[in-house]
Amino acid sequence: MQCSERVYSGRIATPLDWLPATEMIRSCSIIGLFILGLAASSAPAYETDQHSNRDQEVADSTVLLNAKVNETIRDIAKEWSMDHDEMTFVDEFYGRIGGIHYVDKLERWAMTSPDVERLDTERNDSIYSGYPLWSLRVSTLFGIGKTIRLNDELVGTDKIGHFISQGRKFYKRYLDMGSEREAAKRSVLTEKAIFGQATTGSFSNADLVANFEGYRFYRSLFEDDFIPGKPAILRWDEGYWVVQREFDWADHVNAFWDEALNPNQYSRLPRIYVRRQLVAMCDSFWAHPDLYVAAERAELSERYAHIGLIENSDLRMDVLCTSEALKLVPAT
């Protein structure tokens, strides 16, 4: 198929002429994305799967990841030789533990370190298995990201990158705009573009939550009580940064970082395949229904009401599997 093939009446004249033009055009972008992936030192993984192997025992990595963040903060503070410049500290932190590439340094460490336990889920054994190339696009080419346990929640390692890198961008937008709500709107646009739906076919609500919590972390470096009841992580004292408390992922990670509990919104064609795969997993849900329920859903929904999450409860396993079970009940 040629990407330049003629489009008419909202359709493309190909043997797959039933495929909407917008979906086919997006599929053509795979070639460019594939080339970019080959050029990278290692291919990025754009999708994660917290549905498959959900009942697997995985050790919590909060202590390990806390240590990495706190070590970085202490090292920067100890080596500091500049004036009181908060944004420079943020940029230095980002440079050491984040990065300009597709996968942040801490994210890559969580993906590869033998000290971090991960779910045993590969693309061919995930909710994205068996889908046509044009349907899920990037995830078909680059595979599935890793899932770890953080603050006792199942979290894709990509959320670490969102927290550090996209959280920093959110923080800078907040400083520029003076409005958390306006900064959140830009975060939504980003998720709809290169980091989300335009390339992967999915809009990740959990990505938006991680972005927002990253912004909260950067503010908590310098602001007392921004994390309720806690002082700022840093204090400026006579020309030096003083670390007055330690960072803790538990202040930021919750059930809405889990894409099984806070489902993605999918483009039309990927949605068909994802829903079909999830329905096939309903036996796993009925075996362990408590694993698929966010106990603090109402509280978290209220907390994040202003950041642009998309309502997608029909793909939650507790809703989807219940509705599928009702279809099997004979009419009376």
Q: What is the pLDDT of residues 252-305, one digit of tens each?
A: 999 999 999 999 998 888 888 889 999 999 999 999 999 999 999 999 999 999
**Closest residue by Cα to residue 305 from 197, 184, 147, 191:** 184
> pLDDT band at 9, cuts 50/70/90?
very low
DSSP-assigned letter for residue 290: G
Q: Is the pLDDT of residue 137 over 90?
A: no
**Closest residue by Cα to residue 77 from 263, 256, 210, 242:** 242
Question: Is the Cα dihedral 41, 132, 291, 58 positive or negative?
Answer: negative
Q: What are phi and psi of 236, to 5 degrees?
A: -85, 120
> pLDDT band at 201, cuts 50/70/90?
low
Give residue 46's pLDDT. 60
Give residue 324's pLDDT. 84
265 CB-near residues (< 8 Å, 6+ apart): 197, 202, 203, 205, 310, 312
Give residue 318's pLDDT. 96
How large is the average pLDDT for residues 177-189?
Answer: 89
Where is average pLDDT lowest: 91-105, 118-132, 150-164, 247-261? 118-132
Give residue 42's pLDDT. 38
Q: In Å, how far from its chain's centre is CA 151?
A: 16
Give residue 41's pLDDT. 35
**Closest residue by Cα to residue 276 from 119, 129, 56:** 129
Give residue 248's pLDDT. 98
Give residue 24's pLDDT. 39
Look over the chain and give the mean of its residue pLDDT values, rounded to a whole number.
Answer: 82
pTM of the model: 0.82
> pLDDT band at 90, cuts 50/70/90?
very high
Q: Position of tokens 């198929």?
A: 1
Give residue 188's pLDDT. 86
Using CB atoms within 10 Å of the CB of residue 37, give its burial: 0 to 12 exposed, 13 to 18 middle, 19+ buried.
middle
Instruction: Determine the Cα–Cα distance for residues 299 and 32; give it in Å rounded to an integer.
Output: 42
Percent of the chain whose pLDDT exceeds 70: 76
More confident residue, 270 or 168: 168
Q: Is the pLDDT of residue 1 over 80?
A: no
Q: Is the pLDDT of residue 30 over 70?
A: no
